[in-house]
Amino acid sequence: MQTLRDLPALRASILALRRDGKSVALVPTMGALHDGHMALVEEGRRRAKHVVVSIFVNPRQFGPNEDLDAYPRREATDAHMLQEAGVDILWAPTVDVMYPAGFSTNISLSGVTEGLDGAARPGHFDGVATVVTKLFNQVQPDVALFGEKDYQQLTVIRQMVIDLNLPVEIVGLPTQRAEDGLALSSRNTYLTEEERKQALALPRALGEAKRQMEKGASVDSALAKAIAMLANHGFDPIDYVTLCDAATLEPMTVLDRPARLLGAAKMGGTRLIDNIAVDPA
Ligand code: PAF
């Protein structure tokens, strides 16, 4: 595996990988890799001849009071995992390579970015859309893989690829969970032992609300119970627990089409997100 940090080296290596029409998959990450990322890598290997993984903790997608400085960085461990998994290139640009002096472009979507995390984290999806567009232009992958844990992010990227006619196939993979059900996330490392136990209330509250709605309970009452359960387990603040159209993310008050139930709340200092599919009878 080659670890590359500058664009001319990346371009030359991608050109070499592509020789004889060979395909390339990209798994964009911010590092601190876990089994969720590794499942994306595995799927990338099934779908393309070569796999590139990017590790870049993107400052533009963090708000001023968020965890940019604290975000876990452990490139040596990550590189070892990627090497073992048969990755061809680790693309790990510096901030100066990604955003050289004078950088002035911002990719901003309306619609799908407006609610949920878009409302709770102003500017977050501009940062995501801008860096993902740059990563696509840098690596020029045939296929790019993202986890459904960041469901709104996946929806935003799908929309952006359609809107900008980007020549890349987007593949979303189901959320990987710990045995007890907590969604895997690099941010789980911030949780204390006690917070880690209480955090389980998030997947459980969403799971219970899904069961109730699919049995015919009203959306409002199921959401209210889920919010109460999170509050009882010490989540504070609760940014949202909302049922949305699975494709457009428009809020839903009646379960009459395929939906996604999404939640975001803070446990101690750690903001956790999770989501599950909810299907009408
Ligand atoms: O999901 C992430 O890790 C990041 O948001 C991404 C897609 C790598 C963009 O920085």
| pTM across the whole model | 0.97
Assess whether 100 and 157 both reside in one domain.
yes
Distance CA 9, CA 30 (A): 20
pLDDT bracket for residue 134 (50, 70, 90):
very high
CATH number at residue 16: 3.40.50.620
pLDDT bracket for residue 123 (50, 70, 90):
very high
Assess whether 34 and 79 both reside in one domain.
yes
Distance CA 64, CA 8 (A): 32
Q: Flag whether pLDDT at 125 surpasses 90.
A: yes
pLDDT at residue 20 in the model: 83
Q: What is the mean pLDDT of the chain?
A: 98
How wide is the angle at C-alpha 157 spanned by C-alphas 154 and 159, nearest 5°? 110
The residue assigned the tokens 């001023």 is 64
Assess whether 84 and 38 both reside in one domain.
yes
Q: Flag whether pLDDT at 213 surpasses 90.
A: yes
37 among known catalytic residues? yes
Nearest CA to ligand 1 atom 5: 128
Q: Flag whether pLDDT at 257 surpasses 90.
A: yes
Domain region containing 14: 2-173
The count of structural domains within the chain is 2
Atom of ligand 1 nearest to the CA of 29: 8
Assess whether 139 and 228 both reside in one domain.
no
Atom of ligand 1 nearest to the CA of 58: 10
pLDDT at residue 281 in the model: 83
> Among 19-23, 108-112, 250-254, 276-280, which is the least confidently predicted range?
19-23
pLDDT at residue 107 in the model: 98
Does residue 79 sit in helix, strand or coil?
Answer: helix
- Helical spans, DSSP H, in the chain: 7-17, 35-47, 75-84, 95-98, 116-120, 124-139, 151-163, 193-199, 201-214, 219-232
Assess whether 6 and 46 both reside in one domain.
yes
Mutate to test the pocket of ligand 1, among 27, 53, 61, 149 (most ligand atoms within 8 A of CB): 61
